Amino acid sequence: MPWLYPLLGDSAFLVRIVTLESLDQIGDRKALPLIAAKLQDENALVRAYAAGAIAQLDGRKYIAEIQHALETETDDNARVGFADALFLMGDEKQFSELLKLLSSSDYRVRSASASALGVAELTPAQVRSALEAVSHAARNPLFRADRLTMERVEKELGEQL
């Protein structure tokens, strides 16, 4: 939907995020070049959502850009989105990155990582590893929010065994 494209440059980061989600939901693959540009957005959450939209739209030609962004990224809020997107597109190395982010000092990052693991297509061995890591995070929450997320994901992963 071309009329959405200008909203990717809106001054409000939440508008940019909702626009990325909208383009993903409607399956607008023509927007992939514009979405990929948001991997360099000033806001870490926008960068994370851009990576997620690229993965959902099967933008495999942007894998190298996401990998490069992950290599240089310092904000865990973006790192979790990059790792999740790359894992979704087949980069098995990102599984360990998602597990590592469960120990972040930011409850939002912990929750995002757990949620990503909860919906990912995992091998039985990965399910066991993720369940162990999520259970540990549930026993050591930062706040109620991440504890509740860990408990939900713990249940989801347990049902996969």
Token pair, residue 150, equals 């860990």
Query: What is the residue extent of each domain of the chain?
Result: 1-91, 93-161
Q: Which residues contact 147 (CB under 8 A, 6 or more apart)?
A: 138, 141
pTM, two decimals, is 0.94
Question: Rounded distance, CA 109 to CA 90, Å?
Answer: 21
Question: Rounded distance, CA 22 to CA 36, Å?
Answer: 15
Question: Rounded distance, CA 56 to CA 53, Å?
Answer: 5
Reported confidence tier of residue 122, pLDDT bands at 50, 70, 90: very high
pLDDT in tens, 16-56: 999 999 999 999 999 999 999 999 999 999 999 999 999 99
Question: Rounded distance, CA 30 to CA 11, Å?
Answer: 23
Reported confidence tier of residue 161, pLDDT bands at 50, 70, 90: confident
CATH superfamily of 1-91: Leucine-rich Repeat Variant (1.25.10.10)
pLDDT in tens, 124-136: 999 999 999 999 9
Hey, is 57 helix, strand or coil?
coil
Question: Rounded distance, CA 42 to CA 110, Å?
Answer: 21
Question: Rounded distance, CA 153 to CA 149, Å?
Answer: 6
